[in-house]
Amino acid sequence: MHSDRGIFVPRFLHTADWQMGRSFSRFETEDGAALVEARYAAIERLAQLAVEQECDAVLVAGDVFDAQGVSDRTIRRVFNATSAFKGPWVMLPGNHDAALAESVWTRARRLKAVPDNIHLALEPDVILLKEQGIAVLSAPLTQRHTYSDLTEDFSERETPAGLLRVGLAHGSVQGVLPDEVDATNPIAPNRAEQANLDYLALGDWHGAKQINERSWYSGTPEPERFRNNEAGYALIVDISEPGAVPDIKSVDIARYRWHQWRETLSVPSDLDGLIQRMEELPEASVLDIRLDGAITLEGLQRLDHALSLAEARFRSVSCDRAALQLEPTEEDIAALNADGYLGETIEELRQLQLGDHPEPARDALAILTGLLNSGKQEVNQ
């Protein structure tokens, strides 16, 4: 416990959804490997944060692992990454790493990879951290999908007087999350009140999200998808005494921030704004862009240059231009000295872009004008 004006106040760190063992096959090999390593580094940062903030415990609300079949090396590395914080960790199985009869957790125990200070909440139980002043009521998933609320019996579980009652669960709070994600593993939105919990630490939603003053999702500490949902944080929770309202502090943990932009280019200022936004992003960015609209030849050259610079700065950059039409201006064509047959060909390709298969025409137009432009530059050198 840490001291607050002479009073000892329990403090714990709430995290979830590490998804260790996740692969990033959609990325280039080098980028995918870096994103994997960032997830191990996130665990190390969580452990160091718990030390720096004088936390009494770390609660992990499910999905430590991305799948049951992760490698032995992954299992060992995960537990090794926790080593900086010597206090108790409580890890809960989620839907990706459910506590099956034979699971990643039973394998971890056979490997003797689990340190003595890590409690695996593989059964519905009350884990007493008496020295830390906390009683953890766990609701582990014992299969990937359930249709009953595993926290329903929290109100029936007794805990010693004077200890905080902290629930640890993984699932979808009903009526709060988007409809498509709350069909399975349901959790009642008023569970903390019904079960007289001081705090309910939740996992499954990958962004930091408050349900009520006593119920929070921490989100994943390292983003792994393009979704603007406040991923990349951990929560430091202070509760001065049983019944007191928790004081929650969100701490940025993420190494990489993921950005997904959907842009329509209509006028030159649209491209100016896009390039400026790219220039303002930090280097630790993963950027996915999809463009539609139209762009001039001069604009395309500027876009290509900006993307080339971004690829050198950021962790990963992808740009889908399938719906972006190349529309050379009269000035573009005049600058290429493309008269006669070449001029007619360029105009024909411009018109073909308006048909049923615009992408081949656009690509041919880009290649042709690019060749003309590079030939012009060589002559001028």
Residues 35-94 pLDDT 10s = 999 999 999 999 999 999 999 999 999 999 999 999 999 999 999 999 999 999 999 999
On whether the CB atoms of residues 303 and 333 are closer than 8 A, the answer is no
Q: For residue 179, what is the domain's CATH number? A: 3.60.21.10
On whether the CB atoms of residues 17 and 63 are closer than 8 A, the answer is yes
274 with 299, same domain? Answer: yes
pLDDT (average), residues 357-362 = 71
337 with 237, same domain? Answer: no
270 with 237, same domain? Answer: no
339 with 212, same domain? Answer: no
Output the pLDDT for position 381: 42
pLDDT tier at 380, thresholds 50, 70, 90: very low
245 with 117, same domain? Answer: yes
pLDDT tier at 330, thresholds 50, 70, 90: low
pLDDT tier at 106, thresholds 50, 70, 90: very high
On whether the CB atoms of residues 89 and 57 are closer than 8 A, the answer is yes
**Boundary-marking domain end, from 232, 252, 272:** 252
Residues 117-147: tens digit of each pLDDT: 999 999 999 999 999 999 999 999 999 888 8
**Boundary-marking domain end, from 190, 222, 252:** 252
Q: What kind and span of H or E run contains 321?
A: strand 316-326
**Alpha helices in 72-197, H assignment, sequence order:** 72-80, 104-110, 191-194
Of residues 214 and 183, more confidence is placed in 214
135 with 283, same domain? Answer: no
Output the pLDDT for position 372: 57
158 with 307, same domain? Answer: no
Structure-token pair, residue 124 = 């519905």
Of residues 174 and 121, more confidence is placed in 121
318 with 362, same domain? Answer: yes
How many domains does the chain contain in total? Answer: 2
Query: Which residue from 61, 13, 60 is spatially nearest to 202, judged by alpha carbons?
Result: 61
Output the pLDDT for position 325: 84
55 with 140, same domain? Answer: yes
183 with 290, same domain? Answer: no
| pTM of the predicted structure, to 2 decimals | 0.86
pLDDT (average), residues 203-222 = 96
195 with 310, same domain? Answer: no
CA separation, residue 171 to residues 17, 32, 203, 225 (Å): 11, 28, 6, 19
Per the DSSP assignment, residues forming a β-bridge with 264 are: 292
Percentage above 70 pLDDT, the chain: 87
Residue 378, pLDDT above cutoff 90: no
pLDDT (average), residues 145-155 = 93
What integer best gives the mean pLDDT of the chain?
89
Output the pLDDT for position 146: 87
On whether the CB atoms of residues 340 and 346 are closer than 8 A, the answer is no
Structure-token pair, residue 114 = 């689990």
Q: State the residue range of the domain holding 347.
A: 257-380
Output the pLDDT for position 377: 46
Residue 255, pLDDT above cutoff 80: yes
198 with 52, same domain? Answer: yes
**Boundary-marking domain end, from 252, 285, 305:** 252
